[in-house]
């Protein structure tokens, strides 16, 4: 099972919106509505920001939203804030013995 494809970097100015893509196949992203997104600050554990494509856990700001079209999922961060600067990883259920696959990660820089 190959890793999902994410752009290595993304950036935006405070207050702007940025979208990070996550491309898989019909065997993972395209086949199930089980895409999740994780935020990781340096030296910290990951934190789930979006699950099941577009659901936000309690406590996650509504500036974070998720969507999916075909084999590509997207995370949009609106109204960028300095604390949003972090690495973001997508993941998908695969329905195979390789139960979950992650993307390579995207480093989001707030300019």
Partner 1 sequence: QVQLVESGGGVVQPGRSLRLSCAASGFTFSTYGMHWVRQAPGKGLEWVAIIWYDGSNKNYVDSVKGRFTISRDNSKNTVYLQVNSLRDEDTAVYYCARGGDYMDVWGKGTTVTVSS
Enumerate residues 49-68 that contact partner 1 by CB under 8 A: 51-52, 57
Binds partner 1 by CB under 8 A, chosen from 12, 28, 29, 36: 36
What mask, x for binding partner 1 by CB under 8 A, covers residues 90 to 109?
-x-x---xxxxxxxxx----
Tell me the window of 21-29, 37-45, 62-70, 77-85 that interacts with partner 1 (CB under 8 A): 37-45
Give the separation between CA 12 and CA 14, rounded to whole angstroms.
Answer: 7
Q: CB neighbours of 23 closer than 8 A, spacing ≥ 6?
A: 4, 5, 6, 29, 71, 72
Q: How many helices (H) and strands (E) does the chain have?
A: 0, 9
Q: Which residue has the tokens 């702007």?
A: 16
Longest distance between any two alpha carbons in the chain, whole Å: 42
How many binding residues for partner 1 (CB under 8 A)? 27
Q: Which residues bind partner 1 (CB under 8 A)?
A: 1, 3, 32, 34, 36, 38, 40, 45-48, 51-52, 57, 87, 89, 91, 93, 97-105
């Amino acid at each position: 099972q190959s890793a999902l494809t994410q752009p290595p970097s993304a950036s935006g100015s405070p207050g702007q919106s940025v979208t990070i893509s996550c491309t898989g196949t019909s065997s993972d992203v395209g086949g199930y509505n089980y895409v999740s997104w994780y935020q990781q600050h340096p030296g910290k554990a990951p934190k789930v920001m979006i699950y099941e494509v577009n659901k936000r856990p309690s406590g996650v700001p509504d500036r974070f939203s998720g969507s999916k079209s075909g084999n590509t999922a997207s995370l949009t961060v609106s109204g960028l804030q300095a604390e949003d600067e972090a690495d973001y990883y997508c993941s998908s259920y695969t329905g195979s013995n390789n139960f979950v696959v992650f993307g390579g990660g995207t480093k989001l820089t707030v300019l």
